Homo-oligomer: A and B are copies of this chain.
Amino acid sequence: MELHRREFAALVLGAAAGVSVVGPAGAETDPLPSWNDGLAKGAILKFVRVTTDSASPDFVPPERRIVTFDQDGTLWVEHPMYTQVVYCLDRVPAVVKEKPALAKAEPFKTVLTGDFEKIAKLSLHDLEVILAATLTGMDVDAFNAEAKAWIDSAKDRRWKRPYTELTYQPMQEVLTYFRAKGYKTYIVTGGGQDFVRVYSDRVYGIPREQVIGTAGGVSYGHGKDGKPILTKEPKLLLNDNYAGKPEGIHLMIGRRPRAAFGNSTGDQQMLEYTKGGDGPRLSMLVLHDDAKREYAYGPAQGLPDTKVGTFTQTLYDQAIKNAWIVVSMKTDWKRIFAFEA
């Protein structure tokens, strides 16, 4: 019976999109109720309608309906630090407990001080050392269990809520809407593929196999009990950022996406590649311009680029020139999080 219900829901949503391209706010049939009417919302509704209405000249057969989403800064909060980096820093004490000599070695020594200001100033190389020490060397089942326990309990400092609640409600609606219309939704993240897979189904309704991320190698072998296991190795297979995003999409999907959502220069090539295909294509950039409800950074505020989420002026100019849609969190989103009133 589950399939019947889902199918019915899809039909209802489909009909709604067909009649109300920019539907009245709050209407029961509006698939994007957390979006204000405007260019961005209209572009999403129109794109989905013309590519999924079988009478449309731009109809896309179901097997070609691929839509990709960056995660950090696009589907959930990335400030002041990527969630995965917080995980790795939190893991340091356990790693040091296993290898006590590390306690006196940098960058572990700095991390153990717990001084947030000092930790925030660690170099990229320091971070790489910490990532390798905390994300590799264990078998994949052990990693999954550790990461799951952490994500189930850790909380963000500002909102005092689990990180998994810091996803953007408007983007959750976009995910649901695309799926209801037969699109296969993928995460394409610069974050660790194995890490994001731990919670992607629960948080985004995206199964493990539809998460493409920065991926290290694993090596096949046998555990102490003789059972076959895979061990996470400190060997980079796919750096899923910049050109690595379309390259990773080819490796894991083998099709050019019809639509893509990002928020930074790390997404530039994915958005270019998507928009460069034939027929209607949708490339969207989320602009963080809401200092009150979330954070403001990037060129629209005249703020300097920050270490994360580098939405540069050059990227903004490219977006305008190539008819990518820029989503203003401040004006396009009625609310940011599901937990808001």
Which one, B201, B220, B250, contacts A247 given CB within 8 A? B220
A15 at interface by CB-CB < 8 Å: no
State whether A272 touches B228 (Cβ < 8 A).
yes
CA–CA, A160 and B149, complex, Å: 58
Q: Which residue of B lies closest to A252 (CB)?
A: B252
CA–CA, A70 and B76, complex, Å: 38
0 or 1 for each of A155-196: is its CB under 8 Å from B? (1 = yes) = 000000000000000000000000000001000000001100
Number of residues from A at the complex interface, CB < 8 A: 38
CA–CA, A210 and B208, complex, Å: 13
State whether A208 touches B7 (Cβ < 8 A).
no
- Interface centre among A209, A217, A238, A243, by most chain B C-beta atoms within 10 angstroms, is A209
CA–CA, A7 and B197, complex, Å: 29
Q: Which residue of B lies closest to A273 (CB)?
A: B228
**Contact residues of A between 200 and 224, Cβ < 8 Å to B:** 201, 207-209, 211, 215, 217-220
Tell me the number of copies of this protein: 2
Residues of B within 8 A of A207 (CB): 63
CA–CA, A211 and B254, complex, Å: 9
Which one, B209, B255, B272, B276, contacts A253 given CB within 8 A? B209
A33 at interface by CB-CB < 8 Å: no
A105 at interface by CB-CB < 8 Å: no
**Contact residues of A between 246 and 266, Cβ < 8 Å to B:** 246-247, 250-255
State whether A230 touches B208 (Cβ < 8 A).
no
Besides A140-B250, A209-B254, A227-B276, 15 new A-B residue pairs in contact (Cβ under 8 A), listed by A number: A3-B3, A3-B7, A63-B201, A208-B253, A208-B255, A211-B254, A218-B247, A219-B247, A228-B273, A229-B276, A230-B246, A230-B250, A237-B237, A237-B238, A252-B252
